[in-house]
Amino acid sequence: MMPQYLYEVILDRKANPREGSYTCWLFEQGEDEILKKIGEEAVEVILAARGQGDNRLVEELADLYYHVLVLLAWRGLNPEAINSELQRRHLAG
C-alpha cells in the first residue's frame, strides 16, 4: 500500500466513519490519543532497533508512520508538506 493511498484511506475514515475501524476510533478519541499512540510507537521503534531484528523494526516503523499519517489528517495537513520541508532543507543545505 503506497503512502498516499494509505493517507487517502485515513481521510476517508475521517469523513465516513465505520463502526469497528481503529482509524475511526483514533479520530473519536482526538489528538491526545493520537499523540499518545505516536509516543508509544516511537518507543517501540527504538526497542526494535536495539535488538529485535530488522523485520520487527520495519513493522514498528510502519506502525509509527501510520499514526503520523493519522495525526496529519487530524490536523488537516498533507504528507506532501513533509516532503516539501525535506526538499527545502536539502536545497538549503
pLDDT at site 3: 77
Nearest to 60 by CA among 77, 37, 35, 79: 37
pLDDT at site 29: 98
pLDDT at site 12: 98
In the predicted model, residues of the chain with pLDDT beneath 70 are: 1
Domain assignment of residue 60, yes or no: yes
Provide the 8-state DSSP code for 19. T
* Helical axes 31-49 vs 54-75, angle rounded to 10°: 160
pLDDT at site 93: 80
Domain assignment of residue 43, yes or no: yes
Q: Where are the alpha helices (DSSP H) in the chain?
A: 3-15, 22-29, 31-49, 54-75, 80-92
pLDDT at site 1: 56
Domain assignment of residue 23, yes or no: no
CB distance 78 to 72 below 8 Å: yes
Domain assignment of residue 16, yes or no: no
Domain assignment of residue 82, yes or no: yes
